[in-house]
């Protein structure tokens, strides 16, 4: 279970006004109740929060009225007296998370524990066809919001681009020139009339891993996504590291071979130009064209799934392509280890279906290159989250906001709790 630390979102950091003590206390109790899936008695809440029993009773009364908290069975308290257990009601709200990939859109609808209730994914040339992508995205958002059984708190969007802090709704014009004039954040807010949060896909993958996956309980780790684009989400001291302008983690555009192939960013020999799906398949096509007999996995065109399946079946050319990709990825990961010293690297994206065929050469490159101080004790693992990890991270971003400042959660649910939250 991910334990949400109320200390991390202290009153000083929260947008709640310091003079609005009741709103602050409501937020505090709601976070404590969310964090304890087993449920808490009022006496537990008093001990954890330091608030008086009378204050707890008054605020719990408000929260029960909102439906966000429910009373369960009685159990013995430490003092031996039976006490009613209070639980956060995960079904009291809905989160929508979207991953806008370079070549697909995926969407999830979750409850307030980020349990996926419904999901859908469709291939689409998002990179090259923004008009069609927006039409598809709008239709999916309408469908998923309309089917929600509890109020939708907000929409999270994961995008295949770094996002500058001063332009949070616009993707990189260098990487996605056709999206240069589109403010996706503003478009989605206007279309849906809901709060929208947008972040880089690898950052959201890292967030999902931190709350629900291989990064739980780990303060310093990195998530590396290898898909059409390649990026890293770096968690330092429990938070996403964004850098001065908000665009940290662009491992895909670090140079692995300065004389290597031209990358879509305009530079030569970027990691992405060597291991990104599109470039990998281009090399596979060239390789297949060289042979006397076109391999079966390359007919009619190489696909990533076909290439991985062939490598798994022992095809030498496919195995070599995956192995070389693992080697290059290992060079990039060793640089990341030496720079940031995370204790774990979590690999995500479709290429990870290659498993040990990718990991073994990657680890060999690490052994060769990473300084023993940074490589020692660092593990490289493949994500165990579902394919929708980035969309799940997008939903988690909305949840994180709601737990930091629960006023939108309380809005419209109860006159007393709402007035307390204002
Ligand atoms: Zn590049």
208-226 residue pLDDT tens: 999 999 999 999 999 999 9
Q: What's the confidence (pLDDT) of residue 371?
A: 82
Domain 215-382: homologous superfamily in CATH: ATPase, nucleotide binding domain (3.30.420.40)
Please, which residues have CB within 8 angstroms of residue 94's CB and are 6 or more apart in sequence? 109, 110, 111, 117, 148, 149, 150, 151, 152, 153
Q: What's the confidence (pLDDT) of residue 17?
A: 54
| CB 263 within 8 Å of CB 273 | yes
- CB neighbour class for 87 (10 Å; exposed up to 12, middle 13-18, buried from 19): middle
Q: What's the confidence (pLDDT) of residue 407?
A: 78
Cα gap 397→128, rounded to integer Å: 27
Report the chain's C-alpha Rg in angstroms.
Answer: 24
Write out the H or E segment, with its range, that includes residue 363: helix 356-369
**Residue 325 C-alpha to ligand 1 middle, in angstroms?**
16
Tokens of 281: 């398949």
**Residue 229 C-alpha to ligand 1 middle, in angstroms?**
9
CA distances from 144 to 20, 58, 119 (A): 35, 36, 9
Sheet holding 196-200, edge to edge: 116-123, 104-110, 94-100, 152-159, 196-200
Q: What's the confidence (pLDDT) of residue 15?
A: 53
**How confident is the prediction along the chain (422 residues), in pLDDT tens digits per residue?**
444 444 444 444 555 454 578 888 888 999 999 999 889 999 999 999 999 999 999 999 989 998 999 998 888 766 667 889 999 999 999 999 999 999 999 999 999 999 999 999 999 999 999 999 999 999 999 999 999 999 999 999 999 999 999 999 999 999 999 999 999 999 999 999 999 999 999 999 999 999 999 999 999 999 999 999 999 999 999 999 999 998 899 999 999 999 999 999 999 999 999 999 999 999 888 887 776 667 777 777 789 999 999 999 999 999 999 999 999 999 999 999 999 999 999 999 999 999 999 999 999 999 998 887 888 888 999 999 999 999 999 999 999 999 988 877 777 676 444 444 43
Cα gap 28→13, rounded to integer Å: 13
Cα gap 126→160, rounded to integer Å: 10
Helices and strands in the chain: count of H runs, count of E runs: 15, 13
**Residue 251 C-alpha to ligand 1 middle, in angstroms?**
9
| CB 386 within 8 Å of CB 262 | no
The partner residues of 223 in beta bridges, in order of sequence, read 233, 346
Angle CA 307–132–182, to nearest 5: 105
Domain ranges of the chain: 21-88, 93-206+388-401, 215-382
The residue written with tokens 């008054």 in the block is 58
Q: Which residues surround ligand 1, an ion (CB under 5 A)?
A: 253, 263, 265, 267, 270
**Residue 173 C-alpha to ligand 1 middle, in angstroms?**
13
**Residue 252 C-alpha to ligand 1 middle, in angstroms?**
6
What end-to-end distance do the CA atoms of the chain give, in Å?
A: 31
**Residue 266 C-alpha to ligand 1 middle, in angstroms?**
6
Write out the H or E segment, with its range, that includes residue 222: strand 221-226
Q: What's the confidence (pLDDT) of residue 186?
A: 98
From the list 247, 82, 228, the residue with the least C-alpha distance to 164 is 247
Give the side-chain half-sphere CA count within 13 A for 124. Answer: 20
| CB 66 within 8 Å of CB 80 | no
- CB neighbour class for 412 (10 Å; exposed up to 12, middle 13-18, buried from 19): exposed
**Residue 43 C-alpha to ligand 1 middle, in angstroms?**
56
| CB 162 within 8 Å of CB 252 | no
Do 215-382 and 93-206+388-401 have the same topology in CATH?
yes
CATH of region 93-206+388-401, choose from 3.40.50.150, 2.60.40.1180, 3.20.20.80, 3.30.420.40: 3.30.420.40
**Residue 274 C-alpha to ligand 1 middle, in angstroms?**
10
Instruction: Supply the CATH classification number for the domain 21-88.
Output: 1.10.10.10
**Residue 118 C-alpha to ligand 1 middle, in angstroms?**
35
Give the side-chain half-sphere CA count within 13 A for 313. Answer: 10
Write out the H or E segment, with its range, that includes residue 221: strand 221-226
Q: What's the confidence (pLDDT) of residue 11?
A: 41
**Residue 261 C-alpha to ligand 1 middle, in angstroms?**
10
Cα gap 334→225, rounded to integer Å: 15
Tokens of 105: 């859109």
pTM of the model: 0.89
């Amino acid at each position: 279970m991910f334990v949400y630390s109320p200390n991390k979102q202290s009153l000083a950091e929260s947008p709640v006004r310091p003079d609005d003590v009741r709103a602050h206390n409501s937020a505090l109790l709601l976070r404590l109740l969310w964090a304890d899936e087993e449920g808490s008695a009022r006496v537990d809440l008093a001990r954890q929060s330091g608030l008086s029993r009378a204050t707890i009773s008054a605020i719990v009364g408000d929260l029960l009225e909102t439906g966000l908290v429910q009373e369960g069975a009685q159990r013995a308290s430490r003092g031996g007296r039976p006490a009613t257990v209070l639980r956060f009601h995960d079904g009291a709200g809905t989160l929508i998370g979207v991953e806008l990939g370079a070549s697909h859109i995926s969407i999830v609808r979750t409850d307030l524990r980020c349990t996926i209730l419904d999901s859908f994914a469709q291939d689409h040339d998002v990179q090259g066809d923004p008009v069609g992508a927006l039409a598809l995205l709008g239709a999916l958002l309408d469908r998923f919001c309309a089917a929600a059984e509890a109020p939708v708190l907000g929409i999270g969007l994961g995008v295949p681009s770094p996002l500058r802090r001063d332009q949070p709704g616009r993707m990189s014009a260098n990487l996605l020139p056709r999206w240069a004039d589109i403010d996706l954040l503003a478009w989605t807010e206007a279309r849906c009339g809901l709060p929208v949060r947008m972040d880089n896909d690898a950052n959201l993958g890292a967030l999902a891993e931190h709350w629900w996956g291989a990064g739980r309980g780990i303060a310093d780790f990195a998530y590396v996504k290898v898909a059409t684009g390649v990026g890293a989400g770096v968690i330092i001291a429990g938070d996403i590291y964004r850098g001065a302008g908000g665009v940290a983690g662009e491992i895909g555009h670090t140079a692995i071979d300065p004389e290597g192939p031209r990358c879509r960013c305009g530079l030569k020999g970027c990691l992405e130009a060597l291991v990104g799906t599109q470039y990998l398949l281009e090399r596979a096509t060239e390789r297949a064209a060289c042979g006397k007999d076109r391999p079966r996995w390359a007919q009619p065109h190489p696909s990533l799934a076909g290439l991985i399946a062939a490598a798994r079946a022992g095809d030498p050319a496919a195995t070599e392509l995956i192995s070389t990709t693992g080697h290059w990825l290992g060079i990039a990961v060793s640089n990341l280890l030496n720079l940031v010293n995370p204790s774990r690297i979590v690999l995500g994206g479709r290429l990870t279906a290659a498993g040990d065929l990718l990991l073994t050469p990657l680890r060999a490159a690490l052994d060769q290159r990473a300084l023993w101080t940074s490589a020692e004790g660092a593990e490289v693992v493949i994500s165990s989250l579902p394919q929708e990890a980035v969309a799940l991270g997008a939903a988690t971003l909305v949840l994180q906001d709601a737990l930091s400042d629960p006023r939108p959660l309380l809005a419209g649910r109860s006159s007393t709790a709402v007035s307390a939250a204002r």
